[in-house]
Amino acid sequence: MFFLLGMAITFQSLGQNEKINVGPYVFETIISNDVNAVQNQGRTGTCWSFSSLSFFESELLRKGKGKYELSEMFVVWNSYKDKSEKYVRMNGALNYGAGGAFHDVVNVLRDYGMVPESVYGGLNYGFDSHNHGEMDEVLKGMVDGVIKNKSKRLTTAWPHAIESTLNAYLGEIPQEFEYLGKKYTPKSYANEMGLNPDDYIELSSFTHHPYYKPFILEVPDNWAWGQVYNLPLDEMMDAIETSLENGYTLAWASDVSEPYFMFKKGLAIVPSKPWDKLTKEEKDDFGTTVVDEMKITPEVRQREFDDYRTTDDHGMHIVGLAKDQNGKKFFIVKNSWGTERNDQDGYFYASWEYVKYKTTDVMVNKNSLPKPLLKKLNL
């Protein structure tokens, strides 16, 4: 077992039967899989990169490769380049911004490789922490200008202008680097990591597409038109739990805009009835007592998605499973908002019903799934 230092110890060192108090809840850890320390994405929309790489780092720990700290900004640089090219090709009829999806990171790993965080930190603009507000606006203005230019023809210069801007803010991508006394390219470093991009798939559950088939998830940040495999809701939840039981973790995309996503309190739980049906007193007291949660059905979940009340807000990392004092299951979730915004060192507990309700998709190693399910998916 690879023992970690830093904030990862908070959950990594917990044994079964050890109790953790979070507000009115008392949690007992059932599963706690290997993780690196919590990171901070700062003032950026790059949760998809942080959560995916946290997941990949856990994959490397699980495989006995040791502790890798991978560069989120290497992924952002390459993804922004690809997104810019597609946005211009689509005449601007595509979502363009800081957001992304888990498969963007898989695509970067496959197409460009990977580098360590210490080799490429992406802080090339005079700040000590990540802040992409200016860069995002500059890049958006550039690609819009390319599309709207009055000559109605594109030069060969604009892709270089995008790359130069990314270089100015994040730094030039290393073509070759030395790490721990050995020379690498991004591709050779990725090869040494030994992660197979084809092992990683995304799962979801919606009723507007056939089950056991892949479909392009209709959320704005899916600019690359990546596909997810559609499962019945209970089977998606079973797949998440089975992956954890088999020693794997998962990258988790979810809506976090709801008032009952309470990161500061270390909890994400579902009220017993729709939030707008609660009284002011019930809303004010929410989270101070153990909640009898609403039971989530495929129909309830679908309605939230169809009405834009479930949105693709945030990417996180599910690393374990716990149960509360009443035996209800909660997922242990690693966030990328640093360690000082709640009392759980940057982690929180998401109830089974919350994950069932608000998940947009999860990325898993397909080898973590039961063989009968893989057969249904033709994998």
Q: Point out which residues pair with 370 in neighbouring strands.
A: none
Instruction: List pLDDT tens digits, range 249-268.
Output: 999 999 999 999 999 999 99
DSSP 181-228: TEEE-HHHHHHHHT--GGGEEEEE--TTS-TTSEEE---TT-TT--EE
**How far is the C-alpha of 112 from the C-alpha of 328, rounded, in Å?**
43
The contacts of residue 90 (CB under 8 Å, 6+ apart) are none
Question: Which structure tokens are listed for 282?
Answer: 């019930």
| Letter string b/e over residues 3-24, b meaning 16 or more CB atoms within 10 A of that residue's CB | ebeebbebbbebeeeeebebbe
In angstroms, the CA 29 to CA 332 distance is 9
335 is catalytic: yes
Helices and strands (H, E) in the chain, number of each type: 12, 14
User: How many residues can be counted in the chain?
Assistant: 379
What does the alpha-carbon distance between residue 22 and residue 342 come to, in Å, rounded to a whole number? 11
CB 318 within 8 Å of CB 329: no
Quote the pLDDT of residue 7.
Answer: 38
**Which domains occur in the chain, in start order?**
9-38+196-379 (3.90.70.10), 42-195 (3.90.70.10)
The catalytically annotated residue of 47, 103, 230, 317 is 47
Joined together, the tokens standing for residue 136 give 């995002």
pLDDT digits (tens), the chain, 379 positions: 223 333 343 344 455 567 899 999 999 999 999 999 999 999 999 999 999 999 999 999 999 999 999 999 999 999 999 999 999 999 999 999 999 999 999 999 999 999 999 999 999 999 999 999 999 999 999 999 999 999 989 999 999 999 999 999 999 999 999 999 999 999 999 999 999 999 999 999 999 999 999 999 999 999 999 999 999 999 999 999 999 999 999 999 999 999 999 999 999 999 999 999 999 999 999 999 999 999 999 999 999 999 999 999 999 999 999 999 999 999 999 999 999 999 999 999 999 999 999 999 999 999 999 999 999 999 9
State phi, psi for 172 to the nearest 5 degrees.
Answer: -70, 140
DSSP lists the bridge partners of residue 19 as 28
Q: Which two tokens stand for residue 75?
A: 């992924």
Task: Encode pLDDT of 301-335 as tens digits.
Answer: 999 999 999 999 999 999 999 999 999 999 999 99
Specify whether 103 is catalytic. Answer: no
Q: Which two tokens stand for residue 73?
A: 């900004």
Phi, psi angle pair for 303, to nearest 5°? -60, -40
The answer to whether the Cα torsion of 343, 347, 349, 355 is positive or negative is positive
Of the candidates 248, 251, 244, 296, which has an alpha carbon nearest to the alpha carbon of residue 269? 296
Q: Which of 33, 36, 230, 335 is catalytic?
A: 335
Give the separation between CA 54 and CA 72, rounded to whole angstroms.
9
Paired sense of beta strands 347-351 and 267-268, if any: parallel
Report the sign of the C-alpha dihedral through residues 114, 117, 120, 123, in that order.
Answer: positive
At 18 the three-state DSSP class reads coil
CA 257 to CA 331: how far, in whole Å?
18
| 116, amino acid identity | P
What per-residue confidence (pLDDT) applies to 1? 28
Is 21 among the residues known to form the active site? no
pLDDT value at residue 18: 76
Report CA 247 to chain centroid distance, whole Å: 19
Catalytic pick from 103, 130, 132, 314?
Answer: 314
Q: pLDDT value at position 13? A: 43
pLDDT of residue 11: 47
The Cα–Cα gap between 2 and 13 comes to 11
Name the one residue in this structure whose structure tokens are 């790359």: 163
Q: What pLDDT, on a 0 to 100 scale, did the predictor assign at position 16? A: 59
